[in-house]
Amino acid sequence: MRRGAKLRFNSNIAKEVWVYIVDSDNNISILNNEPFKSLGEAGAFLSTSSATIFYYLDNFKIYKGYYFFTNALDTEDMNILLERHFLNKNSAPIKSQVKVWVYDCESLTLLNNTYFPSIQAVSEYLKVGRKTVLNYLDSDKILNSNGINVYLYSQEINKSKMDSLKKNLDKSQLKSNNIWVYKKHKDNLTLFSDKPFSSINQINKVLNISNHTIKKYLDTNNSFKDYYFYSVQIEDKNLLNLKFKELADNGYRKTIWVYREIWKDGELALELLNDKPFNTITEAAKELKISDMTINKYLDSFSEFKGLYFFSEAKSKESVITNIMKTKEGIWVYNKLNDNFVLCMVENQPFKSKWTASKLLKISAKIIDKYLDTGESYKDYYFFSKKYINY
């Protein structure tokens, strides 16, 4: 908020005055939900002199629970007001920064081995808002952020306070972001490093695996580079073996036939990749540079992934094509040229679906449905569910 030179005092000056209140939960509100029209009006409402209000204008000082400003506060100004209000409430001298001591709840050791120089610094470190920091400051309440459980204080606490906190600690309030990482070895899963990681960020640093990948595979029973990630500890070794067995039964050790979709003269055909099946899903995934999860998702579904079809047993191409065509909603789109239909855009093959045609031709799917197989055109396009043969 820009603040210019202060006004010369005049109780009737037509300058709006915003009066702010901060409640016990650190919520900021405007008195009467709108500004007063002048210093005189604000003074009359609050039963105080205009000169007093003028003195407190725009300086973030409190007067009987009120703050006075000549403009509405923006977000940054509200953050400053909250910090100043905390200092005022605790009878501390006004300072530009508030030091914060952050203690681990269980060990009561200082994070970073020293205090934080400001509320903003704590906010950025714990990835919480300034208001949250203020709400927990000197409250003896446990703040959990990113798996860290902490107390926040505006001054260093003494041994007596530490003893009291240890005695009254309710461990049920503590939260954990621990991640158990298991490494696949032959047919078993063993806990990596014999203990859980304290956070996803720690896994990222040790194993050089991105946070996004860890979250993607967490609790899925699917591996990434032979690592499995769980949010709870699995203590029963037999259960670990069972989980791996389930993975194997789901096709991770099965022979996989992969067909590529090709079109010849407008007809669907298939070719078997490498002219032989892959020995395992993992082998196929590495060859095709896709994930095991993707293959498992499309396995035996007769649905294609980037033109590929995956099967767990040998099938005749004819039977596969028959089943594929049942699942396809191919749309043949033509233009007319000299009374003959000519395929539009895609040579010798249909659009894979009406949604693909809709997107590429910029025509709604409803319009395509309306004109499908009618022989009538829309914007010089003709839509058919089967290949049209000119006679």
Model confidence at 1, pLDDT cuts 50, 70, 90, reads very low
Give the tens place of pLDDT for each residue, 12-21: 455 789 999 8
Is-contact 18 45, C-beta < 8 A? no
Beta-sheet strands, E only, within 14-82: 18-22, 28-30, 67-69
Is-contact 82 130, C-beta < 8 A? yes
pLDDT above 60: residue 289: yes
Between 307-311, 329-333, 370-374, the lowest mean confidence (pLDDT) is in: 329-333
* Amino acid making up residue 155: Q
Beta-sheet strands, E only, within the chain: 18-22, 28-30, 67-69, 101-104, 143-145, 148-153, 180-185, 188-191, 227-230, 257-264, 267-272, 308-311, 332-337, 340-343, 382-384
User: How many residues in the chain?
Assistant: 391
Is-contact 221 244, C-beta < 8 A? no
Instruction: Report pLDDT for 315.
Output: 80
Model confidence at 69, pLDDT cuts 50, 70, 90, reads very high
Torsion of CA 348, 353, 355, 357, to 10 degrees: 10
Of 374 and 265, the one with more pLDDT:
374
Between 19-23, 249-253, 303-307, 381-385, the lowest mean confidence (pLDDT) is in: 249-253
Q: What is the pTM of this model?
A: 0.34
The pLDDT > 90 percentage for the chain reads 4
Q: What is the mean pLDDT of the chain?
A: 77
Instruction: Report pLDDT for 94.
Output: 37
Is-contact 331 353, C-beta < 8 A? yes
